[in-house]
Amino acid sequence: MANKLTDKQKSTLWQQRRGVSYQASCRLEGLALNEAIKGEDAQARLASLRRQYGK
């Protein structure tokens, strides 16, 4: 039987997937990122974009 993920593992996995998704989204929009954005920086960037685009 497979082991269940802990809450910390779920959080880490979610953050990693969110980062990959964000980078893919940027590539689709034609933006080039020089380095990966992680954690609080990514959240701040997403909040900024949501304010900018009114979502």
Tens-place pLDDT, residues 3-54: 898 999 999 899 889 888 888 888 888 877 666 667 778 888 888 888 888 8
- From residue 2, how far is each of 5, 6, 12 by CA, in Å? 9, 13, 19
Q: Which pLDDT value is given to residue 35?
A: 66
The helix-helix angle for 7-28 and 39-53 (nearest 10°) equals: 50
Q: Which pLDDT value is given to residue 6?
A: 92
Q: Which pLDDT value is given to residue 1?
A: 54
Per-residue buried b or exposed e for 13-45, using 16+ beta carbons within 10 Å of the residue's own CB: eeeeeeeeebeeeeeeeeeeeeeebeeeebeee
pTM, entire model: 0.47
Residues ≥6 apart with Cβ < 8 Å to 45: 22, 37
